[in-house]
Amino acid sequence: MKFEGTSSYIATEDLKVAVNAAITLERPIIVKGEPGTGKTMLAHEVAKSLDAEIITWHIKSTTKAQQGLYEYDAVTRLRDSQLGDEKVKDIKNYISKGKLWNAFESDKRPVLLIDEIDKADIEFPNDLLLELDKMEFFVYETGETIKAQNRPIVIITSNNEKELPDAFLRRCFFHYIKFPDPNTMEEIVEVHYPDIKKDLIQEAFKIFYDIREVPGIKKKPSTSELIDWLKLLMTDDVDAKILREKDPKKLIPPLHGALLKNEQDVHLFERLAFISRRENENVE
């Protein structure tokens, strides 16, 4: 089993090594990086390239580790018991399986994506230590031990909102997806829009990397935003000439809403455009 990137996902060499190490050693891999650099996508693509089933577990601030294993619905059972339902005799009827359980039960080695683990409570990763290490857990209500038939490939993404505990990190591989350089970016765009005009790309890239360089910008546009923007440019059939426009009156790029997601940034950009316009006029 080896991950080599897919036709729709460009994986850099270091990312491939990290993912393959995690697959071979059957250990979780933690993926961090700027928002929009394809952390979640990675899990889907790994699943696709290995032809494995993907099980996603999205973490929210209220998610508890136990929910990933199983949940025991005591309230329904209580109600059923008062109504004299037959189901009440078997406790198994009130246990609903969590994502981890599903992954452990799978016949073929699945990919388990634990998305945005940092959203949960600080203790959350610690509560999953043993389960992810041994790939087994105990169900108290029924007294059975659930053990993974095939150790799933566990991919964990984090946005760095909380620090993860050391004990947890020690058991995982780690990869930080850095922002792609223009060459990699070109490959990425190529994969998404094979028939985009070359000159349009070049101009769009220039604007995109320029915007990322604007000092004081609050939220830098990311890969996924660039791809959205290019899509808009293509559907609107914007000509490369317009992007190349040096007319100071049109300094703000067309459809900039896809790149700048924050009114302060749009504001800042407009102000900069205004200043450079005035400077240009003075020169003239």
Partner 1 sequence: MFINFFFDLKQASLPVSLKEYLMLMEAMNKRVVDSFNVNDFYYLSRSALVKDERYLDKFDRVFGHSFKGLENPEGETTKEIPEEWLKLMGQKYLTDEEKKMIESLGGWDKLMETLKQRLEEQKKRHQGGSKWIGTGGTSPFGAYGYNPEGIRIGQKEGKNKKAVKVWDKREFSNLDGDIELGTRNIKIALRRLRKFAREGAETELDLDNTIKSTAHKGYIDVKMMPERRNKIKVLLFFDVGGSMDAHVKICEELFSAARTEFKHMEYFYYHNCLYDAVWKDNNRRYNDNIKTWDVLHTYPSDYKVIFVGDAEMSPYEITYPGGSVEFWNEESGETWLTRMLNVYENAIWLNPIPERYWDRIASTSIIKQIFSDRMFPLTIEGIDQAMRELNK
Site string for partner 1, 171-190 (x = CB under 8 A): xxxxxx-x------------
Site for partner 1 (CB under 8 A): which residue of 24, 66, 96, 262?
24
Regarding 129 and contact with partner 1 (CB under 8 A), the answer is no
Quick one: residue 146, left, alpha or beta (phi over 0 = left, psi -120 to 50 = alpha)? beta
Is residue 13 near partner 1 by the rule CB under 8 A?
Answer: yes
Residue 18 Cβ, how far from partner 1 at the closest point, in Å? 4
DSSP string, 216-252: T-SS---HHHHHHHHHHHHHTT--HHHHH---GGG-S
- Check binding of 160 to partner 1 (CB under 8 A): yes
Which among 145, 167, 179 is positioned nearest to 39, based on CA atoms? Answer: 179
Count other C-beta atoms under 10 Å from residue 276's C-beta: 12
Q: What does the alpha-carbon distance between residue 15 and residue 173 come to, in Å, rounded to a whole number?
A: 11
- Find the angle CA(271)-CA(282)-CA(211) to the nearest 5 degrees: 30
Is 88 among the residues that bind partner 1 (CB under 8 A)?
no
Binding mask 200-239 for partner 1 (x = CB under 8 A): ------------------x---------------------
Q: Which residues bind partner 1 (CB under 8 A)?
A: 13-14, 17-18, 20-21, 24-25, 27, 29-30, 32, 74-75, 78, 160-164, 166, 169-176, 178, 218
